[in-house]
Structure 1
Amino acid sequence: MSRTDGTDGSDRPDDLDGPAPEVLVVGAGPTGLLLAGDLAAAGVRVTLIERRPSGTSSLTRAFAVHARTLEQLDARDLADELITRGTPTNGIQFLGSTVLDLNRLATRFPFVLVTPQYEVERLLERRARAAGVSFRHETELTSLTQTANEVIAGVTSADGAHSTIRARYAVGTDGAHSSVRRLLGTPFPGKAVIRSMILADVRLTEPPSERITAVATGDAVSFVAPFGDGWYRIIAWRRDRQIPDTAPVELAELREITRTVYGTDLGMHDARWVSRFHSDERQVPSYRSGRVFLAGDAAHVHSPAGGQGMNTGLQDAANLSWKLASVVRGEAPEPEALLDSYHAERHPVGAMVVRSSGAMLRMVVAHTRPVLALRSAAVRLLTAVPAAGDLAAGKISGIGISYARPRGSHPLTGRRAPDLRLVEGRLHELLRGGTHVLVAPPGSKPSEAPAPAGTVTAHWASDRRDALLIRPDGYIAWAGRA
């Protein structure tokens, strides 16, 4: 039997003898932790399996938490604590001159938070454990089948013991090399777009600025972001240094590339880790396969440009969790349609992120005349036209992302609801209960609003006369007259 660490630091045995889980989540990265925590908080029995030992720090690529993700974390009472552990940065220096201004974002969080992925995981794991998620670390998925009524997962623990987990649904949040995706036989079409990138966390004695900076010479690229605790994330690449990911990488190589780009190595020293990787652009054709779903890097991978990977996965989880909970609890009048809407809403977002992050990466490493000309035009547009910068900031931050609305529905349907100030408090505070929120004028409740069970009714703190039904993930499900 494997063991996991409790939130108080003590060991406790995995709960293998309790009732069968209703949902099995595979992968304890940020996406899986948020999803499992949401489901458990909604009263769903959840088992989460993970190959890594409990407490393993994940020094991985993700470092940026964008505004829309902070809004989702605020709706779980986690954003303010996370902000204390990172560096809010309200501007992004791009290609040496252009600054993408995030101060103009219409949100409580008009910035990108630079913080290591393990800080996000720490908060989400604490919440998931408190909600009652059953963790099984050092456990690997080895087989996966499904019937009309359940998913049957074969797992192997660290001591070699085999067991079976049966659940009504399963979700693969197990990363780019997903076992769930492989066992489903789901294709993952795409290609590698850039090879032999170097990723490191280092200390700098001569940092370039407190802004996130990305500088390119045509033959080399360097990206620098401050964590705020003396450590800096560096991403570097050199056109004439295309070697396998498995090739050794030393700090001297990173210093050399940085000097090529900045004219100085920024006083780089004391790397706590250095890694070489390649960047793929891939996306599965379908996020749903019967009773099994894919989310995060298991469903889509893309360029690190824009820092959108972890954020896109977390928002996948926020979209799927309330839908799965509604179906498991028997509250969805059309359960199959609701579950299908996960793919319908999130697949286009994933495709957009793959395209946009790929376009940014190609502009950064550009060296041919046509692409350089396109890059110059894009820089001029972002500099001269504020609306263009606002559009780019909205897409990268997630604030500008909406879902397609049904034909004939209100124009607000499918749009993100801002953190409304209501008589009963902020919208994000009301969403912490995991329910829909119906917003109406004081003293009224729209009879035609299709409010699900458990909906919380709130009221405008103004003379506004319309009504909104807001989903647990903060998007508008319905709008109409009060």
Structure 2
Amino acid sequence: MSVIVVGSGPTGLMLAGDLAEAGVDVKILERRAEESNLTRAFAVHARTLELLEVRGIADELVEQGFAVPELRASFGSRGFSVDLGRLDSRYPFVLMVQQARTEILLQRRVERLGVPIVRGAEVTGLARDDDGVTLTVRTADGEHTERADHVVGADGAHSAVRGLLGVPFTGRSYQTHIMIADVRLEEDLPNAINPFIGADGFALLPPYGDGWFRAVVWDRTREEAPLDEPVTQTELNASLDRLTRGRIRIAETRWSTRFLSERRQAEHYRVGRVLLAGDAAHVHSPIGGMGMNTGLQDAANLGWKLAAVERGWAPSWLLDSYEAERHPVGRATLRLTDTLTRMVVASGPVRALRPYVVPRLVANERVSRALLGMLSGTGFSYPLPDSLLGSPGAGERVPDLELRVDGAPARLYPLMDPARFTLLDASPDGAAATAAEPWGERIRVVRAEGALPHRADVLLVRPDGYTAWSGRAPGADDLARVLTEWAGTAPVIR
């Protein structure tokens, strides 16, 4: 009962923590000998914060970041804004926080759970058989092999695991070199994402809340500068002067780099006992700040399923559902970020129309709601396998329901466990809670008072916070079927 996670970025840390919390023996292998000081990811969206709350670390992260309540864009003298306060979430904002701070909290969790992180361990070989996976690993002491039941490649865009599997990483590179930096400005900007879209490119300037801003700058006149050429404050100021019409000037820079953005997705997220997650499975434009968020949501989807397989109770279809559910989400995210990127790096005729067309599109209620759902991650749902008993809302995200438990106010997310289902029984007689007792190690049963979605009085919530099944006064046979479909045959109590 063992899993090796390759990569100690946010995705790998989240996944390893979930597996350890489920009682699975897990180890992390990291190619870098030292922790990275890169800070590319800067935004944590609502759905990711909800998942982090289930793991008990959202509040601490929010305290360290800065909540941005709206998305705002400027096309010269014209612009628009999108109010994030409309989100049905306790986190109706984008949290601006350096990736390193998110990683620190996730790393503390895996350390508390006793997960070893082996640094300076480069995976150079991979062999699969019916019983497990053997990795060849190179360290400062030479090469050796590591054996596990399953391996997850969470080792980034240049994933060694994906390459050794031979899984195609289809897509393309944008022919634009983007500058990113952490800067202090001479001027004040609103507490918003602050995109500026000009004739020669765009600048994104979201605040960290401490006087510093993340600058993401694409300048058509500098797009072919060599990637290894240092980004200077003079260069950034020259670009911002053109793109913002002289409105923005940098007073200080503490970190900067230049990189080539890509739009790629692995053709498969699972090959037998090897799986891919995070940037190893998909990479896309930084516009929208969705990269790290999509990876953390991959981990939340995969962790409980892989743990169920490792612990021997997973239904036969369960692990396959990881790719079936997350590959379409990755594809949709790539399409959205590609559309946004094409909009801001558009050709001359399109650039002339942008100030008139885009604000009208965003003002459309359906377009605005869909955009909010995709950016925040709250709008995705998963298809139900045909063989399973369906119900209203199956596959939909379950919001943080207001309940009463034992006569006291309670919320759903703090009651949840990332390794177990949650069964909310709001029926008068509590028959569902009684019927679920044989699955006790796999299902957390909560006798609750309060309104459940779709007028149900019984709600089975997946460990990643989506509806597995809901119903009114289910019979014992139907409930046993549902619990067996999702949580396997009830263990025999001896």
TM-score normalised by the chain length of structure 1? 0.91
Secondary structure of 2:393's aligned partner? coil
Kept in 2, the 8 Å contact 1:421–1:460? The answer is: no
Give the secondary structure class of the aligned counterpart of 2:155: coil
Query: Residue 199 of structure 2 contacts residue 243 of structure 2 at CA under 8 Å; is this kept in 1?
Result: no
8 Å contact from structure 1 (residues 101, 389) kept in 2: no
Q: Specify the alignment match of 2:447 in structure 1.
A: 459
* Kept in 1: contact 2:73–2:197 (CA 8 A): no
Which residue of 405, 430, 433 corresponds with 1:444?
Answer: 430
Question: 236-245 or 282-291, which moves further after superposition?
Answer: 236-245
2:342 maps to 362
Q: Which residue of 2 aligns with 1:13?
A: none
* 1:422 alignment partner in structure 2: 403
Deviations 1:331-367 (A, max 9, x none): 2132xx1111000000000000000011011111223
1:215 aligns with 2:206: no
Instruction: Measure the CA separation in 2 of the matches of 1:372 and 1:187.
Output: 38
Distance 1:370 1:195, change over 3 A: closer
Tell me how far apart the structure 1 counterparts of residues 447 and 368 of structure 2 sit (CA, whole Å).
34
Q: In the aligned structure 1, how far is the partner of 2:411 from the partner of 2:301? A: 21
Aligned partners of 2:66, 2:116: CA distance in 1, in Å?
32
What does residue range 213-252 of structure 1 map to in structure 2 within 5 Å?
213-243=194-224, 244-252=226-234
Provide the C-alpha distance between the structure 2 equivalents of 1:194 and 1:410, rounded to a whole number of angstroms.
Answer: 47
Which deviations, in whole Å up to 9, do the C-alpha atoms of 1:389-432 show, x marking residues without a partner?
Answer: 22211110001111112447223000000011223332111113
Task: Please state if 1:390 is matched with 2:347.
Answer: no
Secondary structure of 1:240's partner? helix
In structure 2, the CA distance between the partners of 1:371 and 1:72, relative to structure 1 (3 Å rule), is same
Kept in 2: contact 1:279–1:302 (CA 8 A): yes
Q: What is the alpha-carbon distance in structure 2 between the residues aligned to residue 251 and residue 393 of structure 1?
A: 34
The residue correspondences of 1:242-391 to structure 2 (distance < 5 A) are 242-243=223-224, 244-264=226-246, 266-334=248-316, 337-370=317-350, 372-373=352-353, 376-383=356-363, 385-391=364-370
Residue identity in the other structure for 1:251: Q
Q: Residue 212 of structure 1: SS of its match in structure 2?
A: coil
What's the secondary structure of 2:194's corresponding residue?
strand
The question of whether the paired residues in 1 share the 8 Å contact of 2:173 and 2:263 is answered with: yes
Kept after mapping to 2: 8 A contact 1:286/1:343:
yes
**Does the residue aligned with 1:350 lie in a helix, a strand or coil?**
helix
For residues 72-97 of structure 1, give each alpha carbon's deviation from its aligned partner in whole angstroms, at most 9, with x where no partner exists: 00000100000011100010112342
Query: Structure 1 residues 90-99 or 172-181, which shifts more?
Result: 90-99
Confirm or deny: 8 A CA contact 1:219 1:367 kept in the other structure: no
2: distance between equivalents of 1:105 and 1:167? 41
Instruction: Report the counterpart of residue 475 of structure 1 in structure 2.
Output: 466
Query: Is 1:25 aligned to 2:5, yes or no?
Result: yes
- 1:319-342 CA deviation, whole Å, 9 max, x = no partner? 0000000110112132xx111100
Distance, in Å, in 1 between the alignment partners of 2:362 and 2:172 is 29
The answer to whether the aligner puts 1:65 opposite 2:44 as a matched pair is yes
What runs of 5+ residues in structure 2 fail to find an aligned partner? 474-494
| Aligned counterpart, 1:434 | 419
| Residues in 1 aligned to 2:282 and 2:369: alpha-carbon distance in whole angstroms | 25
Check 1:189–1:458 CA distance in 2 against 1; reply closer, same or farther (3 A cut). Answer: same
What's the counterpart of residue 56 of structure 2?
77
Q: SS in structure 2 opposite 1:389?
A: helix
Distance 1:169 1:262, change over 3 A: same
Alignment of 1:37-48 (within 5 A): 37-48=17-28
Structure 1 residues 231 and 374: alpha-carbon distance in aligned structure 2, compared to 1, 3 A threshold? closer
Runs (5+) with no aligned partner, structure 1: 1-20
Task: Report the Cα distance in structure 2 between the residues aligned to 1:195 and 1:365, rounded to whole angstroms.
Answer: 9
The aligned runs of 1:29-178 (5 Å cut-off) are 29-54=9-34, 56-96=35-75, 97-157=79-139, 159-178=140-159
2-structure distance, mates of 1:86, 1:194: 32
Whole-Å separation in 2 of the counterparts to 1:107 and 1:43 = 30
Q: Percent of aligned positions with the same letter in both sequences?
A: 45
Q: How far did residue 311 of structure 1 move?
A: 0.1
CA distance in structure 2 between the partners assigned to 1:279 and 1:451 by the alignment: 50
Query: In 1, distance between residues paired with 2:118 and 2:247?
Result: 44
The total of aligned residue pairs comes to 457
Query: Secondary structure at 1:203's aligned position in 2?
Result: strand
After superposition, what is the alpha-carbon deviation per residue over 1:140-166, rounded to whole angstroms, capped at 9, x for unaligned?
Answer: 111111110011011111x24222110
Q: Deviations over 1:8-65 (max 9, x none)?
A: xxxxxxxxxxxxx7000000000000000010111000110112234x2432310000
Q: 1-side partners of 2:357 and 2:458: how far apart?
A: 43
For 1:250 and 1:265, locate their aligned partners in 2 and report how far apart those are by CA, in whole Å.
Answer: 19
- Look up the match of 1:5: none
2-structure distance, mates of 1:406, 1:378 = 38
Normalising by structure 2, we get a TM-score of 0.88
